[in-house]
């Protein structure tokens, strides 16, 4: 069975954003935050429905929503009742006050940097992309690129940097989200860089950073196929191989917040050299630099090494499509290694869905029927169907959308953290 290939575009209007969390999963979250997140996820929802969905009294919902309205976070919206347009008093629904906050989401990558600005309801306001020179960059260069890109995307949105409440930044590599430190990244020359603090000083705004694969998972959780799922995995294949995993509607990062580095899972002892410095990593066989390395060797393309890697890969793909056996074998080998990685994801986590995402997913040899069959053979045979595989061709701005969701989440957490007196009222209400 071939995976379903879908292309997601950000839905405008009042469709709601954020994870759709069942009521029983809310138990440890402050009640006011539960109400706000429920309204945000629904888009527009009547108070009585909020009470029913969360299993609390209508009086408690009225009290909490009035607090949220006074805080400027949600608004009342008049909407005609179904089948009763123009007759009687219109129904009143609750929605997020979109203009309450604006945030920027930015993604640093090996070939270009992307940015979006969204409002508090998650609606896209503006986006922009700037190219970058190849190779790792000094922190000062990265900060200059961030400032340039932020200035450009703000101009497109007809706003200034001071109109933003926060910035989220996605970075490839090993990122400690809580500490705001990049331990290693292919885009940075140095290790253990306090990127978040440096970006705050340069941009003058609150900044949260995270691994870019986590942000793809966050984008799916907020805007895509993962909104209604408790557990799912996202595997990204571009210049490297990344993985984001959602567990119980939240990004799982591990004890030191550095987990789930699928691309650096060892698939061959003393194998090919990975850009992380170790050997035998999955991405050393699947990522674009691995495909380019194989092409220059197997096809005797040493004269093409100076070409941009995307042009070289397009040439390799064209040769494979034209029937070149060597070119096809390069993709086939990469697909087999990908099957090893995906089968281990299934065996370890048993996710409800695996999403393959990233620019390399346009190369269908990587998820051909042979690859999926090999993955099935390597996964434990339980007699039950394996998790479905979907290919999501979102485009480059997906990563920046995930970074924007990171910033929105940080704002919501900061604003809705309960004060002691407020916490007492919420406990009593429950």
- pLDDT for 337-382, tens place per residue? 999 999 999 999 999 999 988 777 777 777 778 888 889 999 998 8
β-partners of residue 116 are 105, 127
Are 177 and 253 spatial neighbours (Cβ–Cβ below 8 Å)? yes
Contact call for residues 74 and 36 (beta carbons, < 8 A): yes
152-156, 210-214, 237-241: the lowest-pLDDT one = 237-241
- State the average pLDDT over residues 84-91: 59
β-strands 166-171, 207-211: how paired? parallel
Q: Which domains does the chain have, with CATH numbers?
A: 4-98 (1.10.10.10), 100-217+397-414 (3.30.420.40), 229-392 (3.30.420.40)
Query: What is the predicted pLDDT for the residue at 255?
Result: 86
d(CA 40, CA 43): 5
Please name every residue paired with 354 in a beta bridge, in sequence order, or none if there are none. 233, 389
The DSSP code for 188 is B
Identify the residue whose tokens are 């674009």.
Answer: 288
For residue range 53-75, what is the model confidence (pLDDT) as tens digits? 999 999 999 999 999 999 999 99
Helices 325-349, 369-378: axis angle to 10 degrees equals 40
- pLDDT of residue 421 exceeding 70: no
Place of tokens 């006074």: 70
Q: What is the pTM of this model?
A: 0.83
| Average pLDDT, rounded, for the chain | 86
Contacts of 330 (CB under 8 A, 6+ apart): 291, 294, 295, 298, 316, 320
Per-residue pLDDT tens digits for 285-331: 998 889 988 888 888 887 677 777 888 888 888 888 899 999 999 99
Rounded-to-integer distance, Cα 229 and Cα 257, Å: 22
| Rounded Cα distance, 144 and 138, in Å | 10
Residue 45 structure tokens: 């929802």
For 27: left if phi > 0, alpha if psi spans -120 to 50, otherwise beta; the answer is alpha
Contact 109, 242 (CB under 8 A): no
State the pLDDT at residue 11: 41
pLDDT at 7: 47
Q: What gap in Å lies between CA 84 and CA 315, rounded to an integer?
A: 60
């Amino acid at each position: 069975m071939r995976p379903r290939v879908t292309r997601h575009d950000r839905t405008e209007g009042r469709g709601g954003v954020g994870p759709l969390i069942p009521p029983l999963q809310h138990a440890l979250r402050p009640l006011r935050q539960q109400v706000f997140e429920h309204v945000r996820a629904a888009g527009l929802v009547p108070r009585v429905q909020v009470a029913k969905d969360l299993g609390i009294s209508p009086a408690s919902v009225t009290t909490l929503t009035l607090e949220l309205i006074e805080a400027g976070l949600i608004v009342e919206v008049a909407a005609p009742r179904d089948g009763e347009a123009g007759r009687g008093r219109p129904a009143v629904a609750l929605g997020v006050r979109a203009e309450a906050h604006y945030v920027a989401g930015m993604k640093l990558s090996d070939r270009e940097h992307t940015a979006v600005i969204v409002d508090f309801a998650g609606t896209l306001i503006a986006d922009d992309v700037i190219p970058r020179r190849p190779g790792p960059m000094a922190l000062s260069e990265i900060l200059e690129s961030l400032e340039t890109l932020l200035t450009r995307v703000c101009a497109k949105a007809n706003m200034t940097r001071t109109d933003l409440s926060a910035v989220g930044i996605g970075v490839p590599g090993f990122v400690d989200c809580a500490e705001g430190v990049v331990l290693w990244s292919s885009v940075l020359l140095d290790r253990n860089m306090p990127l978040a603090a440096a970006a705050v000083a340069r941009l003058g705004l609150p900044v949260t950073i995270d691994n870019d694969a986590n942000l793809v998972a966050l984008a799916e959780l907020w805007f895509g196929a993962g909104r209604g799922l408790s557990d799912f995995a996202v595997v990204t294949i571009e210049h490297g191989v990344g993985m984001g995993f959602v567990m119980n509607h939240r990004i799982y990062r591990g004890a030191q917040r550095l987990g789930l580095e699928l691309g650096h899972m060892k698939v061959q002892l003393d194998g090919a050299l990975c850009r992380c410095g170790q050997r035998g990593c999955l991405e050393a066989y699947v990522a674009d630099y691995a495909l380019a390395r194989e092409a220059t060797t197997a096809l005797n393309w040493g004269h093409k090494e100076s070409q941009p890697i995307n042009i070289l890969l397009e040439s390799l793909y064209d040769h494979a499509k034209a029937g070149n056996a060597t070119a096809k074998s390069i993709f086939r080998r990469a697909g087999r290694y990908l099957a090893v990685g995906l089968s281990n994801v299934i065996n370890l986590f048993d996710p409800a869905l695996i999403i393959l995402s990233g620019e390399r997913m346009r190369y269908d040899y990587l998820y051909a029927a042979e690859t999926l069959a090999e993955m099935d053979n390597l996964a434990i045979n339980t007699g039950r169907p394996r998790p479905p595989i979907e290919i999501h061709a979102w485009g480059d701005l997906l990563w920046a959308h995930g970074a924007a969701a990171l910033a929105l989440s940080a704002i919501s957490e900061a604003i809705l953290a309960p004060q002691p007196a407020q916490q007492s009222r919420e406990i009593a209400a429950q």
